[in-house]
Amino acid sequence: VQLQAYGGGLVQAGGFLRLSCAASGSIFSVNDMGWYRQAPGKQRELVARVTSGGSTQYSDSVKGRFTISRDNGKNAVYLQMNSLKPEDTAVYYCNAGVVSIWSTQADYWGQGTQVTVSS
């Protein structure tokens, strides 16, 4: 199973970006999917998560600005980031809980995509 994330880049404060991440491989089903981020010198933190049923959770720092969504048919998760701030600068990682076709369950991470917000 692999997670491929893309969509990061450089944007000015107040701008927007959309991150995408798709899971591929021997997948039976995907449970929770989410986005985390890690800024230099800081620990990785949760940005947003979405369950297979569509329930969402956001960190306080992004509520009202970011929107997470998923496409179960594509095993994909998206993060629409609006009103970006310099403090949103980080490497963003997608995460998914996957049940394989062999009934094993594991957490998988994407490779990370850099988001840089200039002031």
Distance separating alpha carbons of residues 113 and 16, to the nearest angstrom: 15
Average pLDDT over residues 46-58: 97
Q: Among positive and negative, which fits the CA dihedral 98, 28, 22, 55?
A: negative
Interval 11-47: pLDDT, tens: 999 999 999 999 999 999 999 999 999 999 999 999 9
Confidence of residue 65 (pLDDT cuts 50, 70, 90): very high
Interval 90-102: pLDDT, tens: 999 999 999 999 9
Q: pLDDT at position 25, please?
A: 95
Strand 113-118 versus strand 9-12 pairing type: parallel
Looking at the chain, the whole-number percentage of residues with pLDDT higher than 90 is 100
Q: Which residue has the tokens 């002031």?
A: 119
